[in-house]
Structure 1
Amino acid sequence: MHDALKAYASLKRPFASLDMEAMDWNIGMVNRLSKTKQVRIATKSVRSVELLHYIAQKLTNHVGWMTFDCEETQFLLEKGFDNFLIGYPQIEKAAIASLVPYIANGSKVVFMVDCEEQLAYLNKIGEAFEVRLDICLDINLSTEYKWMYFGTRRSSLHTLENVMRLCTKQQEYEWTDIVGIMGYEAQIAGVTDQSSSKWQTPVIRMLKQHSKKKLAQFRQEVVREMTKSCPSIQFVNGGGTGSIEFTSQAEEVTELTIGSAFFYPALFSRYDHTPYEPAMTYALRVTRKPSEQIVVCHGGGYVASGATGVDKNPVPLWPPNLTLLKHEGAGEVQTPLYDKDRTLKIGDTVFFRHAKAGELCEHFTEIHARRGDRYVKTFKTYRGEGRCFI
């Protein structure tokens, strides 16, 4: 990180930083690991228009974008982007209606559904504007055992019967078309192999291996049956950074959604096979030193979303041998650290990795990029453009 200190010598702390060489490496790994599959970029993992463009241009098989909601989709449409899969069901009438003119003019926007209520809502809006709306069915690939539920509590489409019932019901709605299937293996892509509790690690690995077989069989059955009754299906979406190698081998999947791999945040270091480099970091200034082995940084309370736990904390990256204090963690206005090697003094800089990718961009209006010890440019985040969608 000595190169980073030189590149960012004149910047006020705190700031978000991006190692362009590391991100280029990560993009190259996605190209290699995704094989012949098309890649849809998860925009919420990047949250910067300029960086989304940059990544897309370097991806071999880039096909489009997975967005968070209608407002973000409209924002990106206005920036000239196209081919969207909105990753989550939308029930805000005005927001959905705002996309209709773009769809009527030929822009590709696909809405996510997993129940008839969502389907009927979209159909009603399509009918009101006399515009057919494309939809994607979000099937639930979680594995349910008698003693536990392994996966996410999201989609209600957890059996083939559920899926085919909704597929048949959709034929009654003339203003919607099923064009896609999403089979996201959240318990593989979104659950780390290495737990903060050591005893859980072998259990998680065993569950993931067993779950892979069951979810693969279910997804194949759904795709086979749906393509028989829904000739309008254009894609089958799956995968994520944590499951890219597994999903790229699935014959029924046509495209992968990838986001976190490009920044490679700290949470993904807890996976067994993630050959990426930390690209996105942030820097804090040491402003206090209450004892020889304790320093305090200004700011830094950037804790990630999800079930609370130590894995959602930011991770000190440089200098080495720094750890958060167990009973204080990363504070909103100050972050104390245990300095094992007693190397830090007031005025020094500490670099951290955020636990999750795009969430760091909610705390900064710009990202400062470098190549080696050379400052390259500044990328605006969504926040830097005055926008917030989450």
Structure 2
Amino acid sequence: MSLYSQYEKAFSNIARPFAFLDLNHLDENILFVKEHLGDKHIRIATKSIRSVEVLNYIAQSFPTSSGWMTFSAKEILFLAKKGFDYFLMGYPILEREDVEQLIPYIREGKEIVWMVDSIETWEWLQKIGEENDIILLICLDINVSTSFPFIYFGTKRSPLTEENALKDLLEKGIKHKHTKVVGLMGYEAQIAGVGDKPHEKWKRGIIPLLKRSSRANISIWRKKAVEIIESYVGKLKFVNGGGSGSLLWTVEQKEVTEITVGSAFYFPALFDQHTSLPLKPAAGFGLRVTRKPEEGVIVCHGGGYTASGALSKDKLPKVYLPEGLEFLQNEGPGEVQTPLKATGFIPKIGDTVYFRHSKAGELCERFQELIVCRDDKLDGKFRTYRGEGECFL
């Protein structure tokens, strides 16, 4: 039985549109990550999952994980109330009430580490710690992007791009007694988030060259940053690096102790551009065919679930099943309807077309639940954050 037929049988009585999770494929992706972690710990990126039940499902396979990388303090509170622990806030925040709501959990012993890349954020955390007579844990976020002569290769995030900037921050910050540096993050976004086979064909000869040169710079700078920080504060508890797209390279970096992984579990369409990841699409959504305006063209109800980031075709959903369907050049996926051109099999009115979202967790912002299947049978439902009434960013 084809995968399309399996899905049609499993989801035959589910109202469209719906989001789905294929447990067979999820299990294969989990196994791939486990087999390639080497001696590193995993920190699971909640942003890429956005479902408590899926997070718990994945965590069962990683009993020695470092914990969770979160994207909002409100999300930490939400998860802490459900018994989660060992949080690394992945980005600097300056929302006082959000941090103060977590202080009772910190007093109870939950580990929450806050991201810092400026003295302003450090001093802000110090003030909260002092007022509440508590020590807040800190992770310093260095920038491992590479600035080539004619191109900046990476993301514009931390200002800590070189030794002097890092030393200056440490010299100003370590005097604060209500904060403690316990970790370093050096996220190689230009490796993890940029595929080897980009949508634009003209980039395909350039990206591998930029990546190759950038890798050498990343390794040198991150190792040096660890040495500098430890010379000021002593042995770090963790050094975080990587993402799903750089997994196979980051596991080889000796200075890294843990790797953040999230998108690899769902394997969204954007990651098709990573040729080193033989993963399986585990999550997507199904739309009903409701129109046939002309021969060779069908129309689905809904579908305009475009991903965040720089505007480009690879941020659109990807038509998944059945094969032989593509977007119309002048319309694309729409808010309430999505026309498709058929180059092979033509679905009938009433049939289903399956799509994959471009970015992993953002699919869950569109649906309240993931309909779970294994083979051609339903296997329950997992609520998304949205299904639990939550929306963090």
Same fold (TM over 0.5): yes
Counterpart of 1:323 (choices 323, 326, 330) is 326
Counterpart of 1:183 (choices 171, 181, 186) is 186
Paired with 2:370 and 2:98, the residues of 1 have a C-alpha distance of: 29
1:223 maps to which residue?
A: 226
1:347 maps to which residue?
A: 350
2:104 maps to which residue?
A: 101
1:15 maps to which residue?
A: 18
Task: Give the AA of the match of 1:281.
Answer: G
SS in structure 2 of the partner of residue 178 of structure 1: strand
Q: Could you list the per-position Cα deviations for residues 218-238 of structure 1 after superposition, in whole angstroms to 9, with x for gaps in the alignment?
A: 101111222222115210000
Greater mean alpha carbon deviation, residues 132-141 or residues 337-346: 337-346
Aligned length, in residue pairs: 390
Counterpart of 1:92 (choices 90, 95, 99) is 95
Task: Give the AA of the match of 2:238.
Answer: F
1:158 maps to which residue?
A: 161
Paired with 1:344 and 1:90, the residues of 2 have a C-alpha distance of: 48
Q: 1:94 to 1:232 in 2, by over 3 A?
A: farther
1:80 maps to which residue?
A: 83
2:130 maps to which residue?
A: 127
Q: Could you list the per-position Cα deviations for residues 152-195 of structure 1 after superposition, in whole angstroms to 9, with x for gaps in the alignment?
A: 00001000111122122221211100000001000000112112
1:25 maps to which residue?
A: 28
Quick check: 1:27–1:59 contact (8 Å CA) kept in 2?
A: no
Whether 2:64 is the aligned partner of 1:56: answer no
Paired with 2:250 and 2:384, the residues of 1 have a C-alpha distance of: 30
Paired with 1:171 and 1:265, the residues of 2 have a C-alpha distance of: 41
Greater mean alpha carbon deviation, residues 256-265 or residues 220-229: 220-229
CA displacement at 1:60 relative to structure 2: 5.4
1:213 maps to which residue?
A: 216
SS in structure 2 of the partner of residue 236 of structure 1: strand
CA displacement at 1:261 relative to structure 2: 0.4
SS in structure 1 of the partner of residue 278 of structure 2: coil
Greater mean alpha carbon deviation, residues 96-105 or residues 241-250: 96-105
- The two structures have a TM-score, normalised by structure 1, of 0.99
1:256 maps to which residue?
A: 259
Moved over 4 A (4+): none
Paired with 1:240 and 1:45, the residues of 2 have a C-alpha distance of: 11
Quick check: 1:15–1:367 contact (8 Å CA) kept in 2?
A: yes
Quick check: 1:292–1:342 contact (8 Å CA) kept in 2?
A: no
- Structure 2 alignment gaps of length 5 or more: none
Quick check: 2:196–2:204 contact (8 Å CA) kept in 1?
A: yes
SS in structure 1 of the partner of residue 94 of structure 2: coil
- The two structures have a TM-score, normalised by structure 2, of 0.98
SS in structure 1 of the partner of residue 125 of structure 2: helix
SS in structure 2 of the partner of residue 361 of structure 1: helix
Whether 2:389 is the aligned partner of 1:386: answer yes
Task: Give the AA of the match of 1:311.
Answer: D
Quick check: 2:145–2:153 contact (8 Å CA) kept in 1?
A: yes
Task: Give the AA of the match of 2:353.
Answer: V
Q: Could you list the per-position Cα deviations for residues 289-333 of structure 1 after superposition, in whole angstroms to 9, with x for gaps in the alignment?
A: 111111110001101000000000000111101111122111010
2:311 maps to which residue?
A: 308
1:268 maps to which residue?
A: 271
2:237 maps to which residue?
A: 234
| Matched-pair identity in % | 48
1:373 maps to which residue?
A: 376
1:139 maps to which residue?
A: 142
Paired with 1:232 and 1:70, the residues of 2 have a C-alpha distance of: 26
Quick check: 1:37–1:61 contact (8 Å CA) kept in 2?
A: no
Quick check: 1:237–1:255 contact (8 Å CA) kept in 2?
A: yes
Paired with 1:74 and 1:144, the residues of 2 have a C-alpha distance of: 37
Paired with 2:6 and 2:200, the residues of 1 have a C-alpha distance of: 35
Paired with 1:119 and 1:226, the residues of 2 have a C-alpha distance of: 15
Quick check: 1:31–1:61 contact (8 Å CA) kept in 2?
A: no
Paired with 1:127 and 1:170, the residues of 2 have a C-alpha distance of: 14
Quick check: 1:178–1:232 contact (8 Å CA) kept in 2?
A: no
Paired with 2:337 and 2:346, the residues of 1 have a C-alpha distance of: 19
Greater mean alpha carbon deviation, residues 336-345 or residues 198-207: 336-345
